[in-house]
Amino acid sequence: MTFADLLRVAPGSTPDLAAIDTRATPGFEGDKDSSRKRLKELRGELADFQERLWAESKQSLLVVLQALDAGGKDGLIRKVVTAFNPQGTRVTGFGVPTEEELRHDYLWRVHAATPGKGRIGVFNRSHYEDVLVVRVNDLAPEPVWSERYDQINAFEAHLAANDTRVLKFYLHISRDEQRERFQKRLEDPEKHWKWSSGDLDSREQWSDFQAAYTDALARCSTDAAPWFVIPADRKWYRDLAVAEILSEAAAEMDPQWPVAEEDLSKVVITA
């Protein structure tokens, strides 16, 4: 079984988030040290893939990251996404929409940030906030956000039909793990910048967010754009699992080195 098979939300199924062990390490029997060795290999593979993707310039890869506060999106970007050459990679963070963004439909800013041919795009939060925080905090009425699941599926199918591979990762941490990570932030002055007062509000809304995530995962995991639920209490497993799934997708995308237009064996470099 591949990591993708183990962790994918089967299209049409509803994941039971509370029943998923966030400390589990599906598909991996080793410990932290051996995971870091494996990650090093995978980073090499991903770097090679990215160079071929760029050279071929026909396909794109879009990686969507979603998690609750302290879920580990930033750490994952540091440990895994940095395997890619920054020249061909763009990480886009989506925060509270600006006034201009609010004057457009919610996919406008998202579509503008999708990767072009040969490029890799990474979304730190995404259009899913428009059915997560928007739903939980009543930022739009239910008739508005409830239409969005189908709209999102259509949007992602459109990207996929236009040669963009879409992979979506939900980094799943437990309530206890979130408390520990928040506690560490409060105790370490070098982590205070990560703290926001809204973090405690969203912790109060834990079960509302779990419900909103469950619906997003159930309704928007499609063949064209699957969701993966990554047990993320153990950071090393989180990094490993995402890197394994990226590397499996890279093998399927299999970008090819372009063939030179002229016969290079005849090229002579002058003195």
| Residues that bind ligand AMP in the complex, under the rule CB under 6 A | 93-97, 125, 129-130, 133-134, 139, 198
Sign of CA dihedral 107, 108, 109, 115: positive
Task: Return the one option of ligand AMP, Mg ion, none that residue 177 interacts with (CB less than 5 to 8 A, by type).
Answer: none
What is the smallest separation between the CB atom of 131 and ligand AMP, expressed in angstroms? 9
3-class SS of residue 225: coil
Cβ 226 vs Cβ 168: under 8 Å: yes
Which is nearer to ligand AMP, 52 or 203 (by Cβ)?
Answer: 203
Which is nearer to Mg ion, 141 or 198 (by Cβ)?
Answer: 198
Region 61-80 residues binding Mg ion, contact defined as CB under 5 A: 69
Which is nearer to Mg ion, 104 or 184 (by Cβ)?
Answer: 184
CB neighbour class for 262 (10 Å; exposed up to 12, middle 13-18, buried from 19): exposed
Determine the residue type at 92: T
Task: Return the one option of Mg ion, ligand AMP, none that residue 26 interacts with (CB less than 5 to 8 A, by type).
Answer: none
Classify strands 120-124 and 89-93 as parallel, antiparallel or unpaired.
parallel
Taking the C-alpha atoms of residue 73 and residue 75, their distance in angstroms, rounded to an integer, is 6
What is the smallest separation between the CB atom of 270 and Mg ion, expressed in angstroms? 58
What is the smallest separation between the CB atom of 197 and Mg ion, expressed in angstroms? 11
Which is nearer to ligand AMP, 129 or 156 (by Cβ)?
Answer: 129
What six digits make up the tokens of 28? 């991996």
The site for Mg ion (CB under 5 A) is made up of 69
